[in-house]
Amino acid sequence: MIHLSRFLIGIRHNRIFRMQSLSGQLIDRLVKAYPKDFLRVTETQFGNEIALSDADNLLVATVTRDDIIVEGRKSFDFEARKYVEVNKQKILGMATACLPHISEVLALDKDFARIGMIFEFRIPVFAGVENGNFGKFIADKFISFKTDGDKTEGSARFAYKLKVSGGGIIRNIKDYRNAIVAMIPAKGIDEDGKERDCLLVSVDLQHIYDPLQKSVDVGEHYGFAIEHLKQVILPELKSKGVEINYE
């Protein structure tokens, strides 16, 4: 069965160098907006970064000189013997609600360059990748030249671009979308609480703004991302014999 192990929303803006002087004000704003969620605060002056998280670091919001990131991770409750699922709607709502606070405090205007959403799935090892031989799987499927010795380790990554409707010469909009899919071998906790070999499939769906934008429609990009996952990417995983269940 597929497990959505991580969901991340990342928004990139023009690099700003006022993070250090305004980080305290920003922390106060975000903690006040989500007092029950942001129980830990980490402020890194060297990296001009602040990180707010819940007690277990399963829900994290990070603001840096370049990015605004909100992410949630799936966990296994060993006492209850069940998973604590990623709440995508909560992450989506938090990113939407926090963005105006961050924009106001940091005085962001036409600075937004990109929004990306990463869906990281943990899937069972399918035929051809048994015994940790992911390197051999890649070599057999994708590499045409001969190699000596055992092939064990490996990773796969590919990307493609998609057009965004409504642009063109007349409106002077050159927006496009990026889809980046990566696959690496890993280990994960299964439903019975035991650690097993698996594959991590990371799907990063991005909207690149050209020219830069004054605001970001988080919900609109989420709608695109979900549809692209369901119609294009997840069916390919299902064709490998993996049951689709990630809602």
pLDDT over threshold 90, residue 8: yes
Q: In the chain, where are the structural domains located?
A: 3-238
Tell me how crowded residue 160 is: count the other CB atoms within 10 A of its CB.
10
pLDDT digits (tens, 9 = 90+) for 165-204: 766 555 567 899 999 999 888 887 777 778 887 888 899 9
Q: Across residues 89-98, what is the average pLDDT?
A: 94
- pLDDT reported for residue 52: 93
Share of the chain above pLDDT 70, in %: 82
pLDDT digits (tens, 9 = 90+) for 31-68: 999 999 999 998 876 668 899 999 888 899 999 999 99
Task: Tell me how far apart the 2 most distant CA atoms of the chain are, in Å.
Answer: 60
What token pair was written down for 106? 């940091």
pTM tops 0.85 = yes
Q: Across residues 93-97, what is the average pLDDT?
A: 94
Distance CA 73, CA 69 (A): 13
Cβ-based neighbours of 137, under 8 Å, separated by 6 or more: 128, 129, 154
Mean pLDDT of the chain: 84
- pLDDT reported for residue 120: 92
pLDDT digits (tens, 9 = 90+) for 205-229: 999 999 999 999 999 999 999 999 9
- pLDDT reported for residue 9: 98
Distance CA 6, CA 221 (A): 17
- pLDDT reported for residue 61: 94
Do the Cβ atoms of 202 and 98 come closer than 8 Å? Answer: no
pLDDT over threshold 80, residue 160: yes
What token pair was written down for 142? 């994708």
